[in-house]
Every structure is written in C-alpha cells, then in structure tokens.
C-alpha cells in the first residue's frame, strides 16, 4: 500500500488569482483604461477642429493662467473655491441630518420591522430621477411659489424673496436633498454595530445622554461618518447637473466648467481640468483617511 503523500501542485496556490481575474479585468477595462485615456488626452494638442495625439503642457498652463497673484485669484481658483464651499456646506448639513436620523433609527426605534419601514421611507425619493427631484423644488421656492405665497400671506415679507431659487441656497438645499442618504446609510450601519452594553455601562457610570453621545456613540460611529463624508464630498465636487438646474445656469463649479468645455469640444482642456479635479478629490480622501484607517475598521 502506497502511503506516500501526494505531491503538492502549484495550481491550488494560484487558484485565488483566477477567481479574482474577472473582476480585475472589468476594473481594468471600465475604470483604469478610461482614466489613463483621460490623462493621455489632457496632454494632447488641439486646434479648433481636430485633436492631435502628442504631448504638451499647454492645457494645464491654460487652466492655471493668471494664478500667480493670490490677491486676485484666477478663474480656476475661484471656481474650485466655490465648489469646495458647496461641498463643505452640503457635507455639514448632510452630516447633521444623517447622524440625527441614523441615531433615531438605531437607538429610539426598538422594532426591527419599524426600523425597516422607516428606512424604506427614507429611500422613497430615490425612486425617481435626480432631475425630477430637483425640479420639484421650483413650485415651492419660485418667485410665485408656495413658500413665497405663505411668507407674503402671513406678512413676514413685503415682496417675494428672490434668493430662494436659482441661488447658492437652492443649490446647497438640493445637494442636501439628494445626498443625505449617502451619509445616513453608513452611519446607521456603524451605529447598529455598537454594543448596547457600552451604553448601559456609560449610564451606570453616571454619564449624561450628551456625554454618552459624544464619548461613546460618536467615536464608535466614526467609520460610518468617514465613509459618508467621502461619498458626499466626492459626489458634490464633481456634480454639474444640480448646480446647473438649481443655480439657473448662473453659478460656476468645477463640474460645470468641465461640462461646458466638453460641449465646446475642448476635450484636452476638459481632460486636464478633470485630472486636476481628480487630484484634489484624492487629496481630500487621503486627508480623511488619515483620521480613520478604513482598512482596519471595515
């Protein structure tokens, strides 16, 4: 009887690589290749009627033209500053609103069925397109809209409020409406993982509700807060539809600038702008990731 152990083969060792190969190919074809193409096009020369494969830094020089004087910022710096303001305002509003809703669902709704029902209720606006949800604000915030009619009717204002629609306020409001769920979901997921015995221990130690919230719940929810922050900041930084519709085509953003450059067939310039935007967003993500190591927390 042969008791010799079967010889080891290299095939089982590489089997996991074969399992990951389909996903790697999809990622390579649909993400890495288009990204590299955008980077390549950003260095192409161009004329009014053709793209010329080659290498030039003129597109980046055009973007940064006149940016040497910080006292009078150039167009791209003003646009990035405006976009960053939108991102920070939307991030702050969605963080407060998403955290409050997630806290209520996780700690004040005891029934799992009720949690599910309320969570589904929060997702109902996502059953329609973003454009429809944005347009729904027009009858409410317009000059002759419901909000202005109510304010005029109760005598709080003497004439319609102009800044409710097609303004920075309406853009931020639309961002909060559209993207709060991207903040709520990861925070709620983190809160549901918190051991409830920790809350009881904090209460037994004499901690007040606010102390428990700040010293126990917030630190243990930081992974969800970070993930939601990355979602909201990255989406708002590149958004151009919301800014165009709710800003009345009068407010600049980086995404809107790229969209306009593309519509005028300035593809190398738009690609260079997209590369700069990608670099800025990656720096924001790296800065956020330094606060919490997602690889350890997830």
43-68 pLDDT tens trace = 998 777 777 888 888 888 888 887 76
* pLDDT for residue 12: 53
Q: Is the confidence at residue 247, as pLDDT, over 80?
A: yes
8 A C-beta contact, residue 173 and residue 90: no
Name 51's bridge partners: 46
Question: What would the two tokens of residue 16 be?
Answer: 């996991």
Q: What pLDDT sits at residue 206?
A: 85
| Domains present along the chain, CATH in parentheses | 84-297 (1.10.3720.10)
Assigned token pair, 93? 């509003």
Give the tens place of pLDDT for each residue, 132-147.
Answer: 888 888 888 888 888 9
What's the pLDDT tens digit per position in 98-111? 999 999 998 888 88
The pLDDT value given to residue 254: 92
Tokens 């015995």: give the residue: 197
């Amino acid at each position: 009887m042969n008791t010799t152990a079967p010889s080891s083969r290299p095939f089982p060792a590489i089997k996991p690589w074969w399992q990951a190969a389909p996903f790697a190919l999809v990622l390579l074809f649909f993400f890495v290749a288009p990204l590299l193409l955008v980077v390549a096009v950003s260095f192409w020369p161009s004329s009014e009627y053709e793209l010329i494969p080659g290498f030039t830094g003129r597109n980046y020089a055009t973007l940064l033209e006149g940016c040497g004087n910080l006292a009078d910022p150039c167009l791209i710096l003003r646009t990035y500053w405006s976009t960053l303001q939108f991102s920070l305002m939307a991030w702050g509003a969605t963080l407060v609103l998403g955290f409050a809703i997630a806290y209520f669902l996780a700690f004040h709704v005891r029934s799992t069925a009720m949690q599910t029902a309320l969570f589904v209720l929060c997702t109902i606006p996502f059953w329609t397109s973003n454009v429809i949800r944005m347009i729904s604000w027009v009858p409410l915030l317009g000059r002759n809209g419901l909000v202005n009619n109510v304010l005029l009717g109760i005598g709080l204002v003497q004439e319609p409020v102009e800044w409710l629609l097609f303004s920075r306020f309406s853009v931020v409001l639309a961002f909060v409406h559209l993207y709060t769920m991207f903040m709520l979901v990861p925070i709620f997921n983190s809160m549901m993982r918190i051991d409830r015995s920790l809350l009881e221990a904090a209460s037994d130690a004499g901690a007040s509700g606010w102390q428990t919230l700040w010293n126990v719940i917030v630190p243990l929810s930081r992974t969800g807060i970070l993930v939601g922050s990355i979602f909201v900041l990255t989406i708002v930084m590149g958004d151009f539809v919301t800014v165009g519709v709710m800003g009345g085509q009068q407010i600049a953003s980086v995404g809107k600038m790229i969209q306009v450059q593309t519509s005028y067939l300035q593809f190398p310039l738009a690609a260079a702008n997209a590369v700069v935007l990608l670099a800025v967003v990656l720096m924001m993500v790296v800065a956020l990731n330094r606060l919490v190591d997602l690889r350890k927390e997830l």
